Amino acid sequence: MRKLLIYLKPQRKRIVFATLLMAVSVLCNLALPTIMSSILDNGVYRSAVENTFPYTAKMCGIMLAVALISLAAVIAGFRLTSRITTAFTRDLRSAIFRKVHTMTFEEMGKIGTGGLVTRSTHDVGTLAWVASMLSGNIFIIPIMFVGGVALCFSKDITLSLIMLAMVPLVIVVVVLLGKKITPRWELSDKYCDRQNDIVRERIRGIRVIRAFNREPREHERIAEATHVMAENIIKANTTMALTVPMTTFVLNIAIALIVWVGGLRIQGGSDLTPGDIFAVIQYVELVLNALISASFAIIMFPHARVAAKRICEVMEAEGTADLIPEEDLHFSGRIDFEDASFQYEGADRAALSHSTLHIKPGDRISGIGGTGSGKSTLVSLLLSFRQPTDGRVLFDGRDAATISRKTIRRNISCALQKSMIYSGTVRENVQMGRMDATEDEIREVLDIAQLSDFIAEQKDGMDYILEQSGTNLSGGQKQRLAIARCIIKDAPIYIFDDSFSALDFLTEAKLRTRLNSQFAGRTQIVITQRVTSAMNSDCIFVLNEGKLVGAGKHAELLEQCEIYREIFASQTGGARK
């Protein structure tokens, strides 16, 4: 948690000012009961025997002034604290976002996209919420507490000790409850997630559920999960609800005791006045308020700590600082894998093992294989998303590990397996491939990607607005848009990672024909599961269970490679050609 405090550093000046303002306001609030009690003692009470009205009026004037100062100070203080907390939140969010983008794929995978999103939004939100709850109080609570106690002592030591005796009791109560609440909140969070999962399942499976007419069963499942969740929320809330009545009760006992002991002392001839007792009671209430606020803070603290811990997981990631300086390199398109292997941490077998392959500039290459064959790992190594755990990847004979990642990625253009669309317009999405692309160039790549018809149908044409992750596009449209972005980038190497899977044969054929004429002389790597997409390549690499089991042209592979023959037979029903 301490590590996150550095994001408060730029706010130092504001924090000092805010503390001063809050202190002024608290001091004013502490003075108010004293003024009130002297109005009562010297003004109201004595007015029965003499005319103290002018005195009362004067003190009321002072009280008004003090209240006004307090109000002004607290408003100015809150202005500052709201600035502090929002600036803290903004900086922290921005830092997390930046950090995430320097993470390695392993680190990213470990926390998962969902987890990272939660950390960036929800967890920061929790900290912001706690910070804003505390920002006012963190200064006020101690001042109010110490001030209240000090004023108590100035009136009467014995009565103050009674109150102080109760404070440890309150602390014990709060700490015990806090301990009990944390696991209950964790449980209730867990059941909350469980319910979410079931709802998600119900939404995703809507077609199957309806096809099998199983709504009653789904209703039962939801009802059960919802009730389990409710019971756990109830448990957590019920424990929480104990805090205020218990704290208040303990302090109230102190008040009763103070009146009792005060009475005894007055009777015993001490110079204590009833007004003093009245004032002490007011101070106890002040201390009580401070304690209640503090107990909320203590109970919220575990929540904040969990959030902070999760955020620190991100901030502590080592990431992949690009240490090698960028270079103005232009690859020819020659790629060599020298006995390259990659094994995921903790995996019992390599995702890609000891593969050696050579690609010449301008080659049209295909990689084919099923799930887990290692073809996506091949792409990850090419793009330097991951580093080979053994062996080397070379561009133009130079080890990829010695070239800056940015430089490598500038030389490769890739349409990834999952089409990644950014909210914005179609035009903006294409431009992300090359920021200075002209209108005509964009139009042309959209045409090559077989999206012209779609664009023509839209009222806004290329300015058609895409929603988050392109939810308003079909799978095939997303793929084609990703392809358009890939081909507008000017690079010696193009990779299409399973980018044609959602396209029908005809669309794919048209697209590939255009690509081939456009990219003559550039290296083209097509990763696919469709044997028909691979058949006409200059060289086909066949992957199976992480191993390169065949390389060559279609006809050669049909003769030599059993796996390839199997794939071909299963997908074409043994069709000849």
Partner 1 sequence: MKKNKEPFINSTVRRMVRDTRPIRKWLILSSLLSVGIIACAIATPELLGKLIDQLYAWLQGDPSASLTAQLLPDLLILFAVYAANAGITYGNHYLLNHVVSRFYTAGLRIRMSDKLQRLPVSFMDKTPAGDIIEKMQEDVSSMGNSIHGIIEILITGFLQILAIAVFMFLKSWLLALAVLAVMPLSLWLSSKLASLSEKSWHASFEYFGKMYSTVEESYTNFPATKAFNLENHVQQHHDEINTDHQEVARKANFLQSIVQPIIAFTNALAYILIALLGGWLIVYRSVPVGTVVTVILFAKQLSAPLERIASGFGELQMVKASAKRVYDVLDLEEEIRPAEEIHAAVEGNIRFEHVDFSYSKDKPLIEDLCIDVKKGQNVAIVGPTGAGKTTIVNLLMRFYDLNGGKILIDGQDVATLSRDSTRDLFGMVLQDTWLFKGTVAENVAYGKPDATREEIIDACDRAYCDHFIHTLPQGYDTVISEDTTTISAGQKQLLTIARALLANKQLLILDEATSNVDTRTEILIQKGMDKLMEGRTVFVIAHRLSTIVDSDLILVLNHGQIVEQGTHQELLEKQGFYYQIYTSQYAI
Positions 479 through 498 that interact with partner 1 (CB under 8 A) = 482, 485, 489, 498
Give the tokens for residue 333: 């398109």
Nearer to partner 1, 444 or 497 (CB): 497
Query: Quick check: 304 and 182 in contact, CB under 8 A?
Result: no
**Position among 8, 15, 27, 87 found at the interface with partner 1 (CB under 8 A):** 87
Stretch of residues binding partner 1 (CB under 8 A), selected from 9-17, 84-92, 343-351, 394-402: 84-92
Is residue 476 close enough to count as binding partner 1 by CB under 8 A?
A: yes
* Residue 382, C-beta contacts closer than 8 angstroms, at least 6 positions apart: 335, 393, 412, 493, 495, 525
In the complex, least distance from residue 260 CB atom to partner 1, rounded to whole angstroms = 5
* Ranges of H-type helices in 205-328: 206-211, 215-241, 243-267, 274-315
Report the sign of the C-alpha dihedral through residues 163, 169, 174, 175, in that order.
Answer: positive
| Burial grade of 387 (CB within 10 A; 0-12, 13-18, 19 or more) | middle
Spatial separation of the C-alpha atoms in residues 564 and 553, rounded to whole Å: 11
Give, as ranges, the residues between 232 and 251 that touch partner 1 (CB under 8 A).
233-234, 237-238, 241-242, 244-246, 248-249
Provide the 3-class DSSP secondary structure of residue 492: coil
Is residue 168 close enough to count as binding partner 1 by CB under 8 A?
A: no
Nearer to partner 1, 157 or 203 (CB): 203
8-state DSSP, 346? T
Is residue 126 close enough to count as binding partner 1 by CB under 8 A?
A: no
Spatial separation of the C-alpha atoms in residues 6 and 359, rounded to whole Å: 49
| Burial grade of 432 (CB within 10 A; 0-12, 13-18, 19 or more) | middle
**Position among 222, 300, 357, 558 found at the interface with partner 1 (CB under 8 A):** 222
Give, as ranges, the residues between 288 and 317 that touch partner 1 (CB under 8 A).
none
In the complex, least distance from residue 508 CB atom to partner 1, rounded to whole angstroms = 6
Is residue 422 close enough to count as binding partner 1 by CB under 8 A?
A: yes
Closest of 544, 546, 551, 542 to residue 353, by C-alpha: 546
Is residue 503 close enough to count as binding partner 1 by CB under 8 A?
A: yes
Total residues belonging to the chain = 577
**Position among 288, 412, 448, 451 found at the interface with partner 1 (CB under 8 A):** 412
**Position among 19, 34, 154, 226 found at the interface with partner 1 (CB under 8 A):** 226
Give, as ranges, the residues between 351 and 380 that touch partner 1 (CB under 8 A).
369-373
**Position among 506, 517, 521, 555 found at the interface with partner 1 (CB under 8 A):** 506
Give, as ranges, the residues between 523 and 552 that touch partner 1 (CB under 8 A).
529, 532-533, 535-536, 544
In the complex, least distance from residue 398 CB atom to partner 1, rounded to whole angstroms = 20
Residue type, 248: T
Is residue 227 close enough to count as binding partner 1 by CB under 8 A?
A: yes
Query: Quick check: 538 and 497 in contact, CB under 8 A?
Result: no
Spatial separation of the C-alpha atoms in residues 125 and 133, rounded to whole Å: 12
In the complex, least distance from residue 183 CB atom to partner 1, rounded to whole angstroms = 18
User: Total number of residues binding partner 1 (CB under 8 A)?
Assistant: 169
In the complex, least distance from residue 357 CB atom to partner 1, rounded to whole angstroms = 21
Helices (runs of H) and strands (runs of E) counted in the chain:
19, 12
Other beta carbons within 10 angstroms of residue 246's beta carbon come to 17
Is residue 90 close enough to count as binding partner 1 by CB under 8 A?
A: yes
The binding track of 29-68 with respect to partner 1, each residue x by CB under 8 A or -, is ---x---x--xx--xxx-xx--xxx--xx-xx--xx--xx
Nearer to partner 1, 102 or 452 (CB): 102
Is residue 19 close enough to count as binding partner 1 by CB under 8 A?
A: no
Give the tokens for residue 306: 């969990």
Is residue 195 close enough to count as binding partner 1 by CB under 8 A?
A: yes
* Residue 120, C-beta contacts closer than 8 angstroms, at least 6 positions apart: 93, 96, 97, 100
Is residue 212 close enough to count as binding partner 1 by CB under 8 A?
A: yes
Other beta carbons within 10 angstroms of residue 568's beta carbon come to 20
Nearer to partner 1, 397 or 574 (CB): 574
